[in-house]
Structure 1
């Protein structure tokens, strides 16, 4: 695993696994990866230890605000798996959505929509479980 510093070329939004799985309507890692690729228009996403990291432009750190998903601060080091590690069988980290090309990142608004959808679905599930 390589470590890259967030802030100059990209930053990352750390997404809780339960939120992503709720949005994807699946706990199957392969189905979640397919969902992420569609929802984030092929933008790169790392999966590691039950969390997901959507790589976004560094400007996202200026305005990002969501209590369930943290935008990693400038200067934070992010563990990045080798580009060839795309299989979900590796718990240490893999590319749920591989890097499509140099400079290609996730759209911050698409990431926010995913977070909001996952949050809403989790709240609905909690409400139905409680009744």
Structure 2
């Protein structure tokens, strides 16, 4: 039996937090292929700057970074303008405790969410594409990644 989940189910899950899921689908279908989705309802996003992620993964190579993020975070990650957005459960975002190092974006914030086929730039793209509905990063794994990055960037302070 195949474990492949049809894309339309993943799109439906991603759009569920939008006040008009059909609008999100239309935005994915337009020329830009990016939907503006509100955060905080179902999904929150931890904003990880590129320097922190490169330090945590020990590489500058985008392919190696993607592989390490997929292995360590085991959930969906978007990249846009040298920022990685680790998608987490919206409820976990309410109690996020690492705001100084990596803020969690939630209520009142919209995130550019690319069409699933976009796995390279230019523009927002998936570093780790969702494989199924609810395929979010574990908050504890994101915290560990941040701690590793901070230790690599500022060893004297940790």
TM-score, structure 2 as length reference: 0.74
Alpha-carbon RMSD: 1.1
After TM superposition, list the pairs within 5 Å mapping 1:15-94 onto structure 2: 15-41=48-74, 43-66=75-98, 67-87=100-120, 90-94=121-125
Structure 1: 5+ residue runs without aligned partners?
none
TM-score, structure 1 as length reference: 0.89
Structure 2: 5+ residue runs without aligned partners?
1-33
* Structure 1 residue 123 corresponds to structure 2 residue 154: yes
**Equivalenced residues, count:** 122
1:28-79 CA distance string (max 9 Å, x none): 11111011000112x0000110000000001122211221101002131000
Of structures 1 and 2, the one scoring higher in RCO (CA 8 A, sep 6+) is 1
Deviant stretches of 4+, over 3 Å: none
